[in-house]
């Protein structure tokens, strides 16, 4: 799976609004992308994934003509999708422990819980991979005494992102007008 094309939502999409599931379905059924792998959205960028472009011009036209639904209910769905994306971005930033940064990817979470499960039979300190702007991958030696605190620190970051996203989505659902919906701002 490769990144085949990147679009700007504000520049390349009619009206500057995007409904990810709808556009994804449109691209998949169009046949313009060989082995379509989905789309990723990062801020204003939409990335189209697949193995090859079967018809780049037609794909450009499809994306350009994409019109997100404009009813209050549809706008609520769009807003919740955006909140979910931001929640995942916050989790994707990882967490800091003992002045080092660590991933919160699904794989990393599975690894941390596996280490906790096997805590009694592992050799300590345990070398784990961390990352930072100064050093890409580095080995951090986690002591057994800090294992529970380490995992709790990462889980607290996940919980804060999910809880704040849930509160925003509850406000979105409670909105009864477009103005009320527009007042719900994800400033996380």
Tell whether the model's pLDDT for residue 69 goes beyond 80: no
- Asked if 61 contacts 13 with a C-beta cutoff of 8 angstroms, the reply is no
Alpha carbon separation from 50 to 18, 27, 45, 119 (Å, rounded)? 20, 11, 16, 41
15: alpha, beta or left? (left if phi > 0; alpha if psi -120 to 50):
left
Q: Per-residue confidence at 121, pLDDT binned at 50, 70, 90? A: very high
What stretches of 6-48 show up as alpha helix (H) in DSSP? 9-12, 20-30
Give 70 or 7, the one with higher predicted confidence.
7
| Percent of the chain topping pLDDT 90 | 66
pLDDT single digits (tens) 8-42: 988 888 878 887 878 988 999 899 999 999 998 88
Give the pLDDT confidence score for residue 148 in this predicted structure: 97
Interval 121-144 mean pLDDT = 86
pLDDT single digits (tens) 87-103: 998 999 999 999 899 99
**Angle value at C-alpha 183, between 180 and 188, nearest 5 degrees:** 140
Tokens of 45: 């960028």
Q: Per-residue confidence at 130, pLDDT binned at 50, 70, 90? A: confident
Give the pLDDT confidence score for residue 145 in this predicted structure: 97
State how far Cα 117 lies from the chain centre.
Answer: 27
Tell whether the model's pLDDT for residue 133 goes beyond 80: no
Tell whether the model's pLDDT for residue 134 goes beyond 70: no
State how far Cα 175 lies from the chain centre.
Answer: 24
Mean pLDDT score of the chain: 91
């Amino acid at each position: 799976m490769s990144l085949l094309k990147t679009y700007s939502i504000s520049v390349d999409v009619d009206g500057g609004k995007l409904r990810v599931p709808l556009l994804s379905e449109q691209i998949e059924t169009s046949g313009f992308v060989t082995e379509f792998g989905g789309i990723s959205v990062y801020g204003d960028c939409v990335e189209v994934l697949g193995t090859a472009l079967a018809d780049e011009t037609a794909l450009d036209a499809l994306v350009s003509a994409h019109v997100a639904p404009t009813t209050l209910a549809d706008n609520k769905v769009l807003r919740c999708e955006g909140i979910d994306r931001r929640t995942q971005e916050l989790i994707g930033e990882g967490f800091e422990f003992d002045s080092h940064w660590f991933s919160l990817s699904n794989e990393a979470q599975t690894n941390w819980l596996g280490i906790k499960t096997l805590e009694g039979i592992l050799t300590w300190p345990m070398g784990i991979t961390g990352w930072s702007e100064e050093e890409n991958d580095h080995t951090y030696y986690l002591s057994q005494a800090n294992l529970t605190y380490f995992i709790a620190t990462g889980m607290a970051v996940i919980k804060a992102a999910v809880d704040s996203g849930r509160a925003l989505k509850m406000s979105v659902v409670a909105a009864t007008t477009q103005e009320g919906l527009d007042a719900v701002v994800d400033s996380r």
